[in-house]
Structure 1
Amino acid sequence: MSDAMMSFILVATLIGSLAIGLWVSVALFLTGLVGVLLFSSAPLTNVLATNIWSSSSEWSLAALPLFIWMGEILFRSRMSGDLFSGLAPWMRSMPGGLGHVGILASGIFAAVSGSSAATCATVAKVAVPELKARGYDESLVLGTIAGSGTLGLLIPPSIILIVYGVAAEQSIARLFIAGVLPGLLVIGLFMAYVSIWSATGRVKTPPKDPPMSFGQKLKASRTLLPVALLIFGVVGSIYLGLASPTDSAAVGVVVALLMSWLFGDLNWRTFKEGLVSATLSSSMIAFILAGSAFLTIAMGYSGLPAAIARWITDMNMSHFALLAALTVFFIAMGCFLDGISIVVLTTAVLLPAVQASGIDSIWFGVYLVLVVEMGQLTPPVGLNLFVLQGMTGRDILYISKAAFPFFLMLSLAVVFVAMFPDIVLTLPRMMYGG
């Protein structure tokens, strides 16, 4: 059987499985099963057992459930309210006023959450009713929170960067530090859009609040201190080389539990809810990764990754042409799959071709997260859109329209990191060399 026919059978099985509504993990296992049975004489049970064990026993994966649990703990604490009250005094004099608070709060919470949905839901819980009550345009409020919620995928500790690091066999610490400057770039683009759009009078903003003295602003910002300490303890320990991502995640969980207890938010109900939710999310991701590892073996037997790598290399596409094609491809996938599924499905297949084209694997990981972020804002499966729909009762088309300008800002961020790759690579080179 030719490589082309084997590849077609695998792709058709995978697409057909997803089309009939099977879970992504089940579709991966089913496609891998077809590949091993048709294209290999290897014993199925041995291949299945070995790959499930190897994919689930990676030490770096231990950080994943811990970071998810930390985010669940903070989601059920007073953290989001403290973020809003601490940031609001500094934003009141800017064009767009408190419309910027949701963006900055999302950026900060992303640094202790690692999840886009958790970031979006946590900030929306406080910011949406507060800003609407103050008279801010609802479309702008929902758009900023939907867009800035995607920062949970990029700003470390990012769950999806951990998944990519394991799948691509790249340093998670390098990926984390590589995401910092692009994350700040996205925050800057979002704030610039809100400022310009508000200054032109295109959206309704209430009159500016009375000015506050510098001392009053500092006093109001004391509520940010616990968040800052948690960020420094978790992320700073990784960057300073004091702890691995897994070690810092464990410390983060302990500190988050302690903070939640001191704030009076920790009780048996919230503890159990956070633990159960983290367990369900972690199990889902682990199941997807196990299916991906099994499918990767099947694709290896079929020769699909090598064939795609040769095909892309033979086309002699420039970097920009290749990235443009991949961006359209990932955005299309984002309309139907969640971000983690996209990363798992594509990394093993595309990475050989990307590396053959001379693209740095760390840079590609951050680029991939950026385009996956765009998928969080595209119907019909934009996760952030569903989060806001559930919290506000607004229909998905209204929220999609509100989020569209921030989709464009993410597109602009992709253009910037493609034209200036040092935005991604400078910090990893400074801290780790190479």
Structure 2
Amino acid sequence: MSDPLTALILLGLLLGLLALGTWVALALMMTAFVAITFFANPDAGLVMATTIWGHSHSWALAALPLFILMGEVLLRSRLSQDMFSGLAPWLGRAPGRLLHVNVIGCAIFAAVSGSSAATAATVGKMSVPELSSRGYPERLVLGTLAGSATLGLLIPPSIILIVYGVATEQSIARLFVAGILPGLMLVGLFAGYVAVRAWLDPDLIPPAPPREPLMARLRASRRLIPVILLIGGVIGSIYTGVASPTDAAALGVVLSLILATLSGGFGRAEFMAALMGATRTSCMIAFILIGAAFLSISMGFTGLPRNLAAWIGEFGLSPYALLAVLTVFFVVLGCFLDGISVVVLTTSIILPMVQAVGIDPLWFGIYLVIVVEMSQITPPVGFNLFVIQGLTGVNILRVARAALPFFLLLLLGLALITIFPGIVTALPSAMG
């Protein structure tokens, strides 16, 4: 049987299982079992057992539940209230005014949560009612929140970068550092769009509030200082090599607990809710990763990824042409699956093709995360769209229309890192 036909059979089986509502992890395992049973020679049960055991005690994976717990703790603290009251006095007179609270607030929370959905929920819970009551247009309020919340996938500590690093055996520390400049670039693009809209149509934005004295603004911002120090400590310790991502995650959990307790409103009930939330999310991701690992091993035994990479290589696609095709493929796939599933489903097959045309796997990880960010605000399964619909009650298609400019800005960001790959590789290269 030809390799393209084999690939189509296995892909059809996987999509069929997913369409029936099978858990992603089970769908991956069942597809892997069929692949290794019918298209390879090894004992499928033995391979599955050794793969599950071998991938269930990865030290690199230990950072995952810790960063998730850190985000869950801060999600249940007073961070969103403190963020709005701390940022608003500084942004009230900027072009676009308090809409920048969504952009910068999401960037800050992204750096402590690692989750796009948690970022949208936490920042939106406070900013949407505040901005709506002050007369800001609904489309820009929802659009800035939906677009900026995607930064939770890119700005370290990013959960999806940990998943990519484990799945592809890339350095998680280097991936985290590689995400810093692209994340800041996207913050600049989003803030720039808001400013341009405000300049082009000043009537969209409510009038500027009276200027507050410097000391009043500093007092309002004092609660943000511990969060900024937490972000700087976690990312700085990784960048300087003082701590591994797992060590930094453990430190982040301790500091976030202290911060949440001191800010008030965080007691035993909130701690237990954060612990259970982190446990559920971590188990789900770990289960998917184990299924993806078994599928990856099975694909290796069948020789399918290598042969498909060679087959695609016969078309003579340039790196840019391959990236263009993959961008469309990932965005379409992201319309039906969450970001983590997209990453674990595709890396074992896509990575050999990417490496065959000379694309750096580290750079490709950031590219992949930005494409997955785009899918977070693409219907019908854009997770950020569902979160914002749940927060506001606004029809999901209206939310999607509001997010469209930010989808295009993410596409622009993708083009920029493709034309100027140093945006991704400069800081990891400086690490040595």
TM-score range, shorter chain: over 0.9
Counterpart CA distance in 1 for 2:273 and 2:327 is 37
AA paired with 2:113? S
Residue in 2 that maps onto 1:211: 211
Residue in 1 that maps onto 2:192: 192
Counterpart CA distance in 2 for 1:253 and 1:12 is 42
Please tell me whether the aligned partners of residues 4 and 308 of structure 2 are also in contact (alpha carbons under 8 angstroms).
no
Question: Deviation of residue 202 (structure 1)?
Answer: 7.2
Please tell me whether the aligned partners of residues 102 and 123 of structure 2 are also in contact (alpha carbons under 8 angstroms).
yes
Counterpart CA distance in 2 for 1:16 and 1:306 is 24
Q: Which ranges of 4 or more aligned residues in structure 1 deviate by more than 6 Å?
A: none
Residue in 2 that maps onto 1:234: 234
Residue in 1 that maps onto 2:14: 14
Q: 2:31 matched to 1:27?
A: no
User: Within 5 A, what are the aligned runs for 1:182-331?
Assistant: 182-201=182-201, 204-331=204-331
Give secondary structure in 1 for the equivalent of 2:204.
coil
Structure 1: gaps spanning 5 or more residues = none
User: Within 5 A, what are the aligned runs for 1:161-180?
Assistant: 161-180=161-180
| TM-score, normalisation: structure 2 | 0.98
Counterpart CA distance in 1 for 2:300 and 2:16 is 20
Question: Deviation of residue 69 (structure 1)?
Answer: 0.7
Counterpart CA distance in 1 for 2:144 and 2:370 is 16
AA paired with 2:165? G
| TM-score, normalisation: structure 1 | 0.97
Counterpart CA distance in 2 for 1:302 and 1:11 is 14
Give secondary structure in 2 for the equivalent of 1:96.
coil
Please give the per-residue CA displacement for 1:208-251, whole angstroms capped at 9, x wherever unaligned: 01112333322322121110121122111111111100011111
Please tell me whether the aligned partners of residues 154 and 366 of structure 1 are also in contact (alpha carbons under 8 angstroms).
yes
AA paired with 1:139? R
Identity, % of aligned pairs?
A: 58
Deviates more, 1:200-209 or 1:312-321: 200-209
Counterpart CA distance in 2 for 1:93 and 1:13 is 56
Give secondary structure in 2 for the equivalent of 1:156.
coil
Please give the per-residue CA displacement for 1:96-144, whole angstroms capped at 9, x wherever unaligned: 1000011001101111110111111110011001111111111111110
Question: Deviation of residue 84 (structure 1)?
Answer: 1.2
Please tell me whether the aligned partners of residues 197 and 203 of structure 1 are also in contact (alpha carbons under 8 angstroms).
no
RMSD: 1.2
Q: 2:369 matched to 1:369?
A: yes
Please tell me whether the aligned partners of residues 92 and 208 of structure 1 are also in contact (alpha carbons under 8 angstroms).
yes
Counterpart CA distance in 2 for 1:85 and 1:240 is 32
Counterpart CA distance in 1 for 2:90 and 2:4 is 59
User: Within 5 A, what are the aligned runs for 1:33-432?
Assistant: 33-201=33-201, 204-432=204-432
AA paired with 1:264? G
Counterpart CA distance in 2 for 1:114 and 1:202 is 34
Please tell me whether the aligned partners of residues 292 and 345 of structure 1 are also in contact (alpha carbons under 8 angstroms).
yes
AA paired with 1:419? I
Structure 2: gaps spanning 5 or more residues = none
Question: Deviation of residue 176 (structure 1)?
Answer: 0.4
AA paired with 1:131? L
Counterpart CA distance in 2 for 1:214 and 1:395 is 41
Counterpart CA distance in 1 for 2:273 and 2:52 is 28
Please tell me whether the aligned partners of residues 113 and 152 of structure 1 are also in contact (alpha carbons under 8 angstroms).
yes
Please tell me whether the aligned partners of residues 71 and 114 of structure 2 are also in contact (alpha carbons under 8 angstroms).
yes
Give secondary structure in 1 for the equivalent of 2:223.
helix
AA paired with 1:346? T
Counterpart CA distance in 2 for 1:245 and 1:332 is 32
AA paired with 1:383? F
Q: Could you say if the C-alpha distance between residues 112 and 367 of structure 1 is closer, same or farther in structure 2, counting changes exceeding 3 Å?
A: same
Q: Alignment length, in residue pairs?
A: 432
Please tell me whether the aligned partners of residues 39 and 298 of structure 1 are also in contact (alpha carbons under 8 angstroms).
no
Please tell me whether the aligned partners of residues 7 and 303 of structure 1 are also in contact (alpha carbons under 8 angstroms).
no
Deviates more, 1:203-212 or 1:74-83: 203-212
Please give the per-residue CA displacement for 1:376-412, whole angstroms capped at 9, x wherever unaligned: 0001100000001111111110100111110011010
Please tell me whether the aligned partners of residues 82 and 224 of structure 1 are also in contact (alpha carbons under 8 angstroms).
yes
